A and B are shown apart, each in its own frame.
Chain A
Amino acid sequence: GQQLNQSPQSMFIQEGEDVSMNCTSSSIFNTWLWYKQDPGEGPVLLIALYKAGELTSNGRLTAQFGITRKDSFLNISASIPSDVGIYFCAGQLPSSGSARQLTFGSGTQLTVLP
């Protein structure tokens, strides 16, 4: 399957700091999604991006769909302890046989230190 390169793999930050993570691919995607997974739970959708250049916010979270359609980033401002978890990017290819088939990045493990 297609590869999504998500970085960094892990981050340790102090409470109150801003966080940035990104996903890149050699392929063009129609849609970029960002999910968060808490321990023992399934991923929960944070932000969905549908157009190149789109910048969308959800509270302290901001994500952008890259102009080239091959990348996306997620920023978290003023981190708090409950931001701890694994963040996944996911992309939908334009040529996907199913309109719902997603390719996931390998995840960014975020730890927020008090």
Chain B
Amino acid sequence: EAQVTQNPRYLITVTGKKLTVTCSQNMNHEYMSWYRQDPGLGLRQIYYSMNVEVTDKGDVPEGYKVSRKEKRNFPLILESPSPNQTSLYFCASSSYGVAQPQHFGDGTRLSIL
């Protein structure tokens, strides 16, 4: 089954404690992306990756890092999380082509105390 898998699904942690949210896709997609979803703001892009070792900033990259060492994985790293990063996070992937729609994971709800 074609899937985008995120882990963990839920996490409560404290300010400053480094955390990583993993994302893996089994569709051999070149493009992967991270979004955060906040009430009334829709989805805002954090980072995206066109292919292995190619990453770029989205609209709200501050406080986040990503890496793309393998095609299937695209982890999101919060080196020093802060309360304003409390949000619902989604990973998405798509093949590279003319406007190929993105497939989303089920989300990771992060609470930073």
Contact of A106 among B41, B48, B101, B107 (CB under 8 A): B41
Contact of A41 among B58, B94, B106 (CB under 8 A): B106
A-B contact list, 11 entries, CB within 8 Å: A33-B101, A42-B104, A43-B43, A44-B104, A45-B102, A101-B48, A101-B58, A102-B102, A104-B35, A104-B42, A106-B41
Chain B residues engaging chain A, CB cutoff 8 angstroms? 4, 31, 33, 35, 40-45, 48, 50, 56, 58-59, 90, 92, 94, 96, 98-107
* A30 and B101 alpha carbons, distance in the complex (Å): 13
Which residue on A lies nearest to B38, using beta carbons?
A: A106
Secondary structure at the B interface, as helix, strand, loop or mixed, is strand
Q: Does A60 contact B (CB under 8 A)?
A: no
**What B residues does A98 contact at CB under 8 A?**
31, 48, 50, 56
Chain A residues engaging chain B, CB cutoff 8 angstroms? 1, 4, 6, 9, 30-31, 33, 35, 40-45, 48, 50, 88, 90, 92, 97-102, 104-107
* A6 and B40 alpha carbons, distance in the complex (Å): 11
How many contacts between A and B, using CB within 8 angstroms? 67
**What A residues does B98 contact at CB under 8 A?**
50, 99
**What B residues does A105 contact at CB under 8 A?**
42
**What A residues does B92 contact at CB under 8 A?**
42
Which residue on A lies nearest to B40, using beta carbons?
A: A106
Contact of A101 among B4, B41, B45, B107 (CB under 8 A): B45
Which residue on A lies nearest to B90, using beta carbons?
A: A42
Contact indicator A1/B44 (Cβ below 8 Å): yes
Which residue on A lies nearest to B9, using beta carbons?
A: A40
